[in-house]
Amino acid sequence: DDERTFVMVKPDGVQRGLIGEIVSRFEERGLKLVGGKFMQIDDELAHEHYGEHADKPFFDGLVDFITSGPVFAMVWEGADATRQVRSMVGETDPAESAPGTIRGDFGLDLGRNVIHASDHEDEGANEREIDLFFDDEELLDYERID
């Protein structure tokens, strides 16, 4: 069934000029872009988005990094979109990500790992993250032609 999934090019991906490459990969896969926003994450949003990691030793660094420059937040729609996107993104640690995945091709560092995608094992993650970053009227529907 069609579902929507939240994805974000992180500040390192923006700085390295990877937005277009990443958007192209999802477009070519056949997923449909229904929301996109070039934005700066503030401290409050960073804490909400990464709340589940609040007790981790890397939390402060994670918040500093994600607020350090603009990100490109997106919502992609398609059959089994969350799993499709996750398999294209790779593992959290780029060193464990296969070549051909976004992190496997462009990432070197566990913290600066180019892209965020909603966790498919966390059932509420997509809805929560989409709501956090987008208003309903910012998600647009249209027919995708392949």
Mapping DSSP to helix (H, G, I), strand (E, B) and coil, where does residue 114 land? coil
Give 131 or 141: the residue with its C-beta nearer to ligand CMP.
131
Provide Rg for the chain, Cα atoms. Answer: 14
Give 30 or 93: the residue with its C-beta nearer to ligand CMP.
93
User: Is 49 a known active-site residue?
Assistant: no
Q: Write down the least CB distance from residue 146 to ligand CMP, Å.
A: 29
CA distances from 7 to 35, 55, 57, 58, 128 (A): 10, 23, 24, 21, 12
Give 68 or 92: the residue with its C-beta nearer to ligand CMP.
92
Structure tokens, 69: 């420059």
Q: Which amino acid is at 132?
A: L
Site residues, ligand CMP (CB under 6 A): 53, 58, 62, 92, 110-111, 113, 116
Q: Write down the least CB distance from residue 92 to ligand CMP, Å.
A: 5
Burial 27-41 (b: 16+ CB within 10 A, else e): eeeebbbbbbeeeeb
CA distances from 116 to 1, 12, 87, 137, 141 (A): 23, 11, 12, 23, 23
Give 87 or 92: the residue with its C-beta nearer to ligand CMP.
92
Q: Write down the least CB distance from residue 79 to ligand CMP, Å.
A: 23
Q: Write down the least CB distance from residue 58 to ligand CMP, Å.
A: 4
From the list 47, 49, 53, 116, the catalytic residue is 116
Hey, which residues are catalytic here?
116
